[in-house]
């Protein structure tokens, strides 16, 4: 069964070179005669703007399911070694700081169960493999206990980080208009151009629209209590 849409980013599309060209012209520069230092400065504004928007605004963060085929008696799995990356079907990388759900599923996809965050070091005194019950993410993903066979797969629903945005041909991961307006605001403020505030106003309007769109059909009622999902009981050893 397929759990993800296409790997392509829905909000990207503009290259670094195209945005830099537009940004330079908006600030009154001739890109054809710009020095290397000026070009690098505009590149920095664009790349930094995308990173800032990604961290600050939830509307820009998109999630996917990531799958790791478990290996018998293997506890450790690379964060960037999920099946899609290994099989070269999608290069998006999980952001380990932005997880929505972590659990296991049977390889046939018919049975799902959550994993509990955190591995108490006391558990290391127990030996043997079985069905993992706990997980922890440090430099890699650790499961405990180690899987006894290959009948389960690790499933993580989480947000993917930004794609490379350093070469001229790299494209934005986020909404290109928002990245451009954020960079334009910083550039005009740096050069003390009088219309810097107008660029910021346009940015805030766009961010408001994108945030509103991210709610989709969800509605929020004051005082409404949302119960957390039930967790399967864990047998004490």
What is the rounded CA–CA span in Å between residue 96 and residue 93?
9
pLDDT in tens, 59-89: 676 788 999 999 999 999 999 999 998 988 8
Strand partners, 68: 154
For the question of whether the overall pTM of this predicted structure is more than 0.85, the answer is no
Retrieve residue 12's tokens. 């990207």
Please enumerate in sequence order all residues whose Cβ is within 8 A of that of 195, keeping only pairs 6 or more positions apart, or say none: 188
What is the rounded CA–CA span in Å between residue 114 and residue 102?
6
CA angle 237, 156, 55 (to 5 degrees): 125
Strand partners, 69: 153
**Cis omega (within 30 of 0) for bond into 145:** yes
Tell me the pLDDT of the chain averaged across its residues: 87
What is the rounded CA–CA span in Å between residue 224 and residue 196?
42
What is the rounded CA–CA span in Å between residue 144 and residue 74?
10
Question: Which of 45-49, 89-93, 147-151, 223-227 has the least mean pLDDT?
Answer: 223-227
Of the candidates 36, 49, 45, the residue with the CA atom closest to the CA atom of residue 175: 49
Phi, psi of 164 (to 5 degrees): -55, 135
Local structure of residue 217 (DSSP, 8 states): T
Please enumerate in sequence order all residues whose Cβ is within 8 A of that of 172, keeping only pairs 6 or more positions apart, or say none: 11, 12, 13, 14, 16, 19, 50, 165, 179
Retrieve residue 143's tokens. 């499961």
pLDDT in tens, 100-150: 999 999 987 789 999 999 999 999 998 889 999 999 999 999 999 999 999
């Amino acid at each position: 069964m397929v759990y993800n849409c296409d790997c392509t980013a829905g909000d990207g599309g503009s290259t670094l070179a195209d945005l830099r060209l537009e940004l330079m012209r908006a600030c009154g520069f001739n890109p054809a005669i710009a020095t290397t230092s000026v070009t690098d400065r505009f590149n920095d504004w664009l790349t930094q703007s995308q990173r800032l928007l990604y961290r600050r605004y939830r509307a820009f963060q998109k999630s996917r399911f990531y799958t790791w085929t478990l290996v018998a008696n293997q506890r450790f799995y690379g964060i960037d070694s999920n099946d899609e990356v290994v099989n070269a079907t999608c290069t998006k990388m999980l952001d380990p700081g932005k997880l929505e759900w972590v659990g296991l599923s049977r390889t046939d996809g018919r049975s799902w169960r959550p994993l509990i965050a955190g591995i108490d070091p006391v558990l290391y005194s127990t030996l043997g493999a079985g069905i993992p019950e706990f997980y922890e993410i440090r430099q890699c993903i650790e499961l405990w206990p180690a899987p006894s066979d290959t009948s389960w797969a690790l499933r993580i629903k989480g947000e993917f980080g930004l794609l490379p945005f350093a070469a001229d041909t790299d494209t934005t991961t986020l909404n290109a208009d928002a990245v451009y307006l954020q960079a334009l605001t910083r550039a005009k403020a740096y050069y003390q151009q009088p219309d810097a505030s107008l660029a910021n106003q346009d940015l805030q309007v766009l961010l408001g629209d994108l945030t509103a769109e991210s709610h989709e059909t969800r509605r929020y009622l004051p005082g409404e209590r949302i119960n957390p999902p039930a967790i399967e009981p864990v047998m004490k050893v």
